[in-house]
Amino acid sequence: MVKIKYWIIALLAVAMGIGAAVYLFPRDVRKVKKQFNLLSEWVSKDLGENTFTLAHKTRSLSTLFTEKFEIKTEIESMSGSYSPEEISSYAARGRLMFSYLSLSFHDLDISFPEKGIAKVVLTARLKGRSTAGENFDETHELECILRKIGKKWLFSHVEIVEVLKK
């Protein structure tokens, strides 16, 4: 009898834990985070990555963006609108210049200002080595807007936040 009581308490504790997890991390938040994980995975490049993986990653990358994806940076030549195909093509060309590339996202602050729109402020870190052997390590704060199209959250706008203003 005592054992049954303990089992019930344990089950209640587990149920409360699951409930808290669902409450604290709603489905949309998890879906938005997943998009960032995919972006990080598909932009990153391992040493000696084969052509098949390269093709898979660059093709998959285009599925993360809306038809008109906008970038806003201090660098005028980079700012503007891009189609998913253009992003794929730039990514493929860009990856050839690097032997190793790692994109990671930290401190994601996700909010939903309107229905179907997610605003994410985060720190993005891009590390890598060029084919010429030059190392680089760039960190920026980004403000991203994702739109829910169908059941998927797609990147629609990215702006680089100026942390230090010269």
Which residues bind to other proteins, rule: CB under 8 A?
A: 106-109, 121-123, 125, 137, 139-142, 163-166
Q: Are 141 and 74 in contact (CB under 8 A)?
A: no
CA–CA dist 108, 9 (Å, integer) = 35
Listed residue (99, 75, 95, 98) closest to 87, CA to CA: 95
Nearer to other proteins, 98 or 105 (CB): 105
* Cα dihedral 133→127→138→79 (10° resolution): 90
Find the shortest distance in angstroms from Cβ 108 to other proteins.
8
The residue among 8 and 161 lying less far from other proteins, judged by its C-beta, is 161
SS3 129: strand
Please state the closest distance from residue 50 (CB atom) to other proteins, in A.
30
**Shortest Cβ distance from residue 111 to other proteins (Å)?**
13
125 vs 148 by CB, closer to other proteins: 125
Closer residue to other proteins in complex, CB, 106/151: 106
